[in-house]
Amino acid sequence: MGCIKILSDAISNRIAAGEVIERPASVVKELVENSIDAEAVKITVQVENAGTKLISVTDNGRGMDSDDALLCLEPHATSKISHAEDINRIYTLGFRGEALPSIASVSRLRLRTRRHDDIEGSEVLIEGGKFAETNPAGCAPGTEINVRELFFNTPARRKFLHSRSTEERHIQETLWGLALGHPAVSFELIMDGKTVFSSPCCKSLLPRIQTFFGKELQDNLIPVDASGPAYRISGFIARHGFTKNSRREQRVFVNSRPVESPSVFAGIRDGYGSLSHDGRYPPVFIFLDMDPALVDVNVHPAKREVRFRESREVTSFISSSIRDALRNSQAPTVSVSRDLPLRSILAGADISYAPKKNVQDSIGGLGKAVESDIKIPVRGSQLEVRPFKPQTGPSNTAERPVEQDFESVSELRILAFLDKTYILASSANGLVIIDQHAAHERVMFERILDSAGKSRTLSQKLLIPSAIELSRSEVMFLEKHRKHFMALGFEIESFGANTIIINSIPDGLHQDNLKGLFSDMLADLMDEGKSNGKIDEAAIARAACRNSVKANDLLSFEEARSLLHQLSRCELPFSCPHGRPAVINISFKELEKRFGRRK
């Protein structure tokens, strides 16, 4: 007898669940997509314990009769396609018929449904993929599906889930994407008995953008609307100069389906051109409508990725539409206080400016010997200039990497600056190159952490508290990790649904562009939380290092000398908090080899 056998439905459903149901957010996605396909205009999602205890999705859609209520839980049972050619023309969000049986195979599922014209509804109970019972039920028109104890029969899958906050954030992101793609549908999300958001149906997308991402982002959007022979684009894009440090606010919908596509992102990047810098992303909310035959949504089990038949045409159409919208929009107007110094205004606009006199003379008194601690303002941060005092106690030089051979700062002689980014210095053993941004990041990082490690955290009170508007996800993230921010010296209080007020910041952190700094910090921390599921003081300090001296910041020799003094006092001076090198030492032996003076 042969060794090949046909797997049972129970086993095949569990295999399918491994592809379709990655995490609780996948369950929310599949169930809400079914509700939208059922023409629901109100959808309520309830979640307990990040979805592992309960996921409940209730809608007022068409509902099902008793036969369909049983049949929909069978593998590959669907009402959305009938023939093979239908796969090439998908108009609905779901179509495979895999989701419900896959979910039922790894949970305890209860389905209650009733059509609007029926007197009574139906209830079906399933445990681990096995039918438990089915009964008539009194229920409201529409469908309610409760998924309890997700992955109860596959404990290994539970172990691979991330932290509770991470899984909750994935659920929110999933529901936001579906809600943005269907503004005519009312959405409500309730987590552990608390309403996270309730967004009524609306004709325009802007109210929903404001609900999820704040009024500031909404106010910096302009409409885009263009049509071509095969495609139509509509929605909103960011004005000139309004960018974020992540692609989280770049939302793309193809035939109202939230998707990710390199072709679309390339079109967005080309459309903005030089208006968008590396590492910065303009928020966009664009809807692409096209014949379903021109796009393949059957690429990935989660249907998140799509493939266009003519990807170059799509990229070109998007980029030209964005360029036209930016060209036709009004230039943003900015009012600037007359009390702000010219240097600060130009620095904030990233404009290089230097007075005719020597840079070292731009700050009074630096040509003389420094007698006491002085703080010298530099764009984006500040460097402390202190007289260097050689260490009298035991040296920890032996703990430093041998290959670095980084000597005492008193033995380094600053030679020049390279590309306004690197400090070139000479030592007894060769040439030392210091990345000014990485070096100051290390100084700021250890200063903030050192303050947090003390019994009394050092913080500076803001003369005028700063009000910052955040997205819903950022507000919830901040609430969950507030104690870590407080430990570092941030004093934060809530002010409305999407607004916070910062009263104090860590000592040494500069107040310039605090709003942008804090928003970028949160974006970095949320991305880091996705990768490792852990947020602590060290992660926040790394994010706060964005306030350090940047490349192309023009330093004087005295400021550079001060930076090296502070770097020499760091425990790990040879790398930035992110792991990049801060100091490179090229020995005379290496130079002689390069110039052929020795073999």
Q: What phi and psi values does residue 499 have, to the nearest 5 degrees?
A: -125, 140
Q: What pLDDT does residue 1 have?
A: 58
Q: Are residues 23 and 167 in the same domain?
A: yes
Q: Are residues 211 and 192 in the same domain?
A: no
The structure tokens listed for 426 are 């000479």
Angstrom distance (rounded) from CA 442 to CA 488? 16
Q: Are residues 181 and 225 in the same domain?
A: no
Q: Are 500 and 492 in contact (CB under 8 A)?
A: yes
Angstrom distance (rounded) from CA 488 to CA 491? 9
Residue at token pair 């107040």:
511
Q: Where among 135, 170, 199 does a domain terminate?
A: 199
Tally of helices (H runs) and strands (E runs) in the chain: 18, 24
Cα dist from 166 to 113, 146, 161, 472, 527, whole Å = 32, 22, 9, 14, 10
CATH code, domain with 300: 3.30.230.10
Q: Are residues 388 and 311 in the same domain?
A: no
Q: Are residues 168 and 35 in the same domain?
A: yes
The alpha helices in 279-418, defined as continuous H runs, are 311-328, 342-348
Domain that holds residue 37: 9-199
Q: What pLDDT does residue 381 have?
A: 39
Q: What pLDDT does residue 406 have?
A: 46
Q: What phi and psi values does residue 284 have, to the nearest 5 degrees?
A: -140, 150
Query: Among residues 34, 43, 286, 25, which one has the least CA distance to residue 184?
Result: 43
> Residue 342 domain-assigned?
no
Q: Are 178 and 186 in contact (CB under 8 A)?
A: no
CATH code, domain with 374: 3.30.1540.20
Q: Residue 308's beta-bridge partner residues?
A: 295
Q: Are 398 and 579 in contact (CB under 8 A)?
A: no
> Residue 340 domain-assigned?
no
> Residue 334 domain-assigned?
no
Q: Are residues 54 and 129 in the same domain?
A: yes
Q: Are 470 and 214 in contact (CB under 8 A)?
A: yes
> Residue 335 domain-assigned?
no
> Residue 1 domain-assigned?
no
Q: Where among 152, 178, 199 does a domain terminate?
A: 199
The number of distinct structural domains making up the chain is 3
> Residue 351 domain-assigned?
no
Q: Are residues 99 and 183 in the same domain?
A: yes
> Residue 337 domain-assigned?
no
Query: Among residues 92, 110, 91, 88, which one has the least CA distance to residue 100?
Result: 110
Q: Are residues 163 and 260 in the same domain?
A: no
Q: What phi and psi values does residue 507 have, to the nearest 5 degrees?
A: -60, 135
Look up residue 575 and give its DSSP letter: B
Angstrom distance (rounded) from CA 176 to CA 29? 10
CATH code, domain with 124: 3.30.565.10
Q: What phi and psi values does residue 371 have, to the nearest 5 degrees?
A: -95, -30
Point out the residues of the chain with pLDDT beneath 50: 350-353, 355-407, 410, 531-533
> Residue 20 domain-assigned?
yes
Q: Are residues 456 and 588 in the same domain?
A: yes
Q: Are residues 182 and 324 in the same domain?
A: no
Angstrom distance (rounded) from CA 549 to CA 537? 21
For the segment 545-597, what is each residue's pLDDT rounded down to a tens digit?
A: 565 677 777 888 888 888 888 888 887 788 777 677 888 888 888 888 888 88
Residue at token pair 């700062």:
409
State whether residue 455 is helix, strand or coil.
Answer: coil
Give 171-230 as a DSSP string.
HHHHHHHHHHH-TTSEEEEEETTEEEEEE---SSSHHHHHHHH-HHHHHTEEEEEEE-SS
Angstrom distance (rounded) from CA 244 to CA 259? 20
Q: Where among 152, 177, 199 does a domain terminate?
A: 199
Q: Are residues 381 and 432 in the same domain?
A: yes
Angstrom distance (rounded) from CA 145 to CA 111? 5
Q: Are residues 322 and 372 in the same domain?
A: no
Cα dist from 8 to 11, 69, 200, 447, whole Å = 5, 22, 44, 61
Cα-Cα-Cα-Cα dihedral sign, residues 590, 593, 597, 599: positive
Q: Residue 47's beta-bridge partner residues?
A: 55, 191
